[in-house]
Amino acid sequence: MAVYIVFIKDETLDQDELAIYAEKAGQARGDHPIKPLAFYGDLEVLEGRDAEGVVVLEFPDREAAKAWYDSPAYQEAKAHRLKGANYRVLLVNGVA
C-alpha cells in the first residue's frame, strides 16, 4: 500500500540553511523509490493555520518511506531543514 510523507512549512527561519537543505535533500534521494506529487506549488488554506509551502512524496510502502527518511543522507539534510524553518512532517497511509 502506498504511503505519503507530507512536509508542511510553517515559517522560514534561515533561507541560507534551507538552500543547503534543498541541495542535500536532492542528493539524499539516491535510488529510493520516491514519487513527488506536490512540491511547493500554489496553495490555498481552506481550514486551519496558514502554511508557507507543502511537499507530498509518495512511496510504495512504509518501509521504503522510513528507509529514505532514516537514511544517513536525509538525516544530514534534515539538520539544515530544522535550522532553516519550522515544519510539520507527517507519514500517512494511502487507501488500499
Q: For 22, how many CA atoms within 13 A lie in the half-sphere containing its CB? A: 10
Predicted confidence at residue 3, as pLDDT, reads 98
Predicted confidence at residue 96, as pLDDT, reads 75
Tens of pLDDT along the chain (96 residues)? 999 999 999 999 999 999 999 999 999 999 999 999 999 999 999 999 999 999 999 999 999 999 999 999 999 999 999 999 999 999 999 997
CATH code of the domain containing 75:
3.30.70.100
Domain count, the chain: 1
Q: What share of the chain is helix, strand, coil (3-state, %, to 5)?
A: 35, 30, 30
Distance CA 80, CA 37 (A): 23
Predicted confidence at residue 74, as pLDDT, reads 98
Domain holding 82, by residue range, is 3-93
